[in-house]
Structure 1
Amino acid sequence: MKLLRVGPAGAERPALLDAAGTLRDLSGLVPDVDGALLADDAALDRVRAAAASGELPALDSAGLRVGPPVGRIGKVVCIGLNYHDHAAETGAEPPAEPVVFFKAADTVVGPHDTVLVPRRSTKTDWEVELAVVIGRTARYVESHEAALACVGGYAVAHDVSEREFQIERGGTWDKGKNCETFNPLGPWLVTPDEVPDPQALGLKLWVNGELKQDGSTADQIFSVAEVVRYVSQFMTLYPGDVINTGTPAGVAMGQPEPKPYLRAGDVVELEIGGLGRQRQELKPA
């Protein structure tokens, strides 16, 4: 299934995109697309049955904002340097263990919402990423099979980063990762039955129409299953938590000087095969 949330920020309603591409209203069936829904097999079965019946009311998508596809996110866990080609372009050795950092849940916005360039920023960068949304509590998971059983769905994420704040200002990466609007998510939450192999997904990103990133999750250093398993050894992952699993080569930081960092007025578009497409215009904060 392709689940999503539509409507004004903070007042989104649950919806479903059916096989014919029609937007269907789920608000009469479930209160939201969130961790509670993903953990409730009976509720998901009702949604599937209703979708198959064709009885869900259609929504007019014209002018309708698409919000983040999952509500009430507990935490956003991020994995850095998780593609061989991205590590190479930044001059870093492939890590022996996953590099883990956090984004605050309030950085998450809709897939087509405005991204704000922070004040005094000169190095705002792009990163297309596969997001994993947890559907079952993951605590000390032992196997890759058990880790994948904890996945409730997949989505496109844009891990926007400010490299000066992240790398040159001391401390951890958090300052360059948690600026307002720095995690567009969506458009859809795609359930695992529609993603048979999360290690065979193509990722692309364009800036002002120019292709900048063109990679595959096959190049990940640590697979989706290993990331979920590994992270669960250090923290409990709850339904509705999100993991951004890293970005392939092609970010501005990896380009020759002068590096083409983002500016207000730029337009970024990104997509992952089968998971949908995002588009953001950048404006000053």
Structure 2
Amino acid sequence: MASVKLGLQPIRVGNIFCIGRNYAAHAAELRNPVENEPLVFLKPTSALLDEFSSIRLPEYSSDVHHECELVALIGKGGSDIAPERALSHVAGYGIGLDLTARDIQSEAKRKGHPWTKAKGFRGAACVSTLAPAASVADPQRLTFDLRVNGQLRQHGDAGLMLFSLAEQISYLSRVYGLSDGDLIFTGTPEGVARMESGDELELELHGLMSASWRVA
């Protein structure tokens, strides 16, 4: 059973929704346009990786990138959720990595194919232990960092999201429906880069938690 931890409690994960191009600077660094609605893709639950496991790069890619993100856990699912009620559906917040085989993604985009092979490989959805939502007054005020081998690579400010978490939840509930245990990777800021074997990745969601992974 694929699960994450909310404090000490294991929570079964349903869907893993990811929002692409949700920070303008990240879209610009990859020369992608920004979207007029959330750009959504999915990861399988087999992609989940906890902090006690090493990241194993897929053999078919030579250019796997880190993408550090704020992650939200849905505690109460629903459909057609209004933005003003959306945050009441969140059970917890954490920090994670949306790993991307950039060479595979670029080739898929060139051919007009889906990105699943680039985004959904085993271990491509790294998630920390999550903090209860009640401990976060406003998720749009959260900031986070990623350091690789001690050097700052990414700094995120949720206030710079193009689509707020409430807007993401409302959109996902209208288009797909949300279920208890769904995860939302809310988008990555600029600074994504290739990972190498032996890299040590340290993530911090300021005021809430830290997490780390090593690349095997």
The answer to whether TM tops 0.5 is: yes
Compute the RMSD of aligned alpha carbons. Answer: 2.0
1:255-274 to 2 correspondences below 5 Å: 261-274=194-207
Matched, 1:280 2:216: no
- Rg larger in 1 or in 2? 1
**Secondary structure of 1:121's partner?**
coil
More strand by share: 2
Shift of 1:275: 3.1
User: Match for 1:113: what amino acid?
Assistant: S
Matched, 1:124 2:57: no
Residue in structure 2 matched with residue 153 of structure 1 by the alignment = 92
Give the number of the structure with larger relative contact order, counting CA–CA contacts within 8 Å between residues 6 or more apart.
2
TM-score by length of structure 2 reads: 0.92
> Does the Cα contact within 8 Å between 1:85 and 1:219 map onto a contact in 2?
no
1:225-236 to 2 correspondences below 5 Å: 225-236=166-177
> How many Å separate the matches in 1 of 2:41 and 2:134?
28
Residue in structure 2 matched with residue 33 of structure 1 by the alignment = 10
Matched, 1:203 2:180: no
Shift of 1:12: 9.0
Residue in structure 1 matched with residue 19 of structure 2 by the alignment = 79
Deviations 1:63-87 (A, max 9, x none): xxxxxxxxx2111000000012211
Hey, which bits of structure 1, 4+ residues long, moved more than 2 A?
10-16
User: Given the alignment, which residue of 35, 55, 59 partners 1:95?
Assistant: 35
**Secondary structure of 2:167's partner?**
helix
> Does the Cα contact within 8 Å between 2:2 and 2:13 map onto a contact in 1?
no
User: Match for 1:109: what amino acid?
Assistant: L
> Does the Cα contact within 8 Å between 2:6 and 2:131 map onto a contact in 1?
no
Shift of 1:13: 11
**Secondary structure of 2:46's partner?**
helix
Shift of 1:11: 11
Residue in structure 1 matched with residue 135 of structure 2 by the alignment = 194
> Does the Cα contact within 8 Å between 2:4 and 2:127 map onto a contact in 1?
no
TM-score by length of structure 1 reads: 0.70
> Does the Cα contact within 8 Å between 1:86 and 1:249 map onto a contact in 2?
yes
> How many Å separate the matches in 2 of 1:121 and 1:210?
24
> Does the Cα contact within 8 Å between 2:6 and 2:132 map onto a contact in 1?
no
> Does the Cα contact within 8 Å between 1:112 and 1:184 map onto a contact in 2?
no
> How many Å separate the matches in 2 of 1:92 and 1:271?
27
Residue in structure 1 matched with residue 73 of structure 2 by the alignment = 133
> Does the Cα contact within 8 Å between 1:136 and 1:152 map onto a contact in 2?
yes
> How many Å separate the matches in 2 of 1:13 and 1:86?
27
> How many Å separate the matches in 1 of 2:23 and 2:51?
23
> How many Å separate the matches in 2 of 1:213 and 1:186?
17
Matched, 1:215 2:156: yes
Shift of 1:112: 4.2
Residue in structure 2 matched with residue 172 of structure 1 by the alignment = 114
User: Given the alignment, which residue of 123, 126, 129 partners 1:184?
Assistant: 126
Structure 2's unaligned 5+ residue stretches are none
> How many Å separate the matches in 2 of 1:98 and 1:158?
19
Identity %: 35
User: Given the alignment, which residue of 83, 106, 111 partners 1:144?
Assistant: 83
User: Match for 2:138: what amino acid?
Assistant: D
Shift of 1:14: 7.1
> Does the Cα contact within 8 Å between 1:138 and 1:147 map onto a contact in 2?
no
